[in-house]
Amino acid sequence: MTAIPKLFQTMSEEANSLRKSLLRNRHVPGFGIDMLVIKGQMELKETVEIWKQKGHIMSYFKETIEPKPQGFLSKFLAGHE
């Protein structure tokens, strides 16, 4: 059996990610809440059964990645071409 991949996130970062997803879905009406619960259970099963790999799990923490520079001047100052 394959071991569950180790994540390089602290408990506070994981809690912040969970809090953001809850706040993002706070406006969902009754039936939508049931669908979100079902989707959450599916996500948990996929993670526990190791059908999701580390890259899939780490996509939940993509907000912590620094965005790439967009304009010419910001790219120039960051050292990009």
Query: Which residue carries 């099963």 as its tokens?
Result: 45
Short-list 60, 46, 56, CA closest to 17: 60
Determine the average pLDDT of the residues in 50-76. Answer: 79
Over the stretch 19-35, which tens digit does the pLDDT of each residue have? 888 888 889 888 888 89
Q: Any alpha helices (H) in 1-81, and if so which ranges?
A: 11-24, 30-48, 54-58, 72-78
% of the chain at pLDDT higher than 70: 83
Judged against a pLDDT cut of 70, whether residue 65 lies above it is answered with no
Please tell me the predicted confidence (pLDDT) of residue 60. 75
Query: If pLDDT is split at 50, 70 and 90, which confidence band does 64 have?
Result: low
Indicate whether this model's pTM tops 0.85: no
Domain residue limits, the chain: 18-62
Short-list 58, 66, 68, CA closest to 17: 58
Judged against a pLDDT cut of 60, whether residue 2 lies above it is answered with no
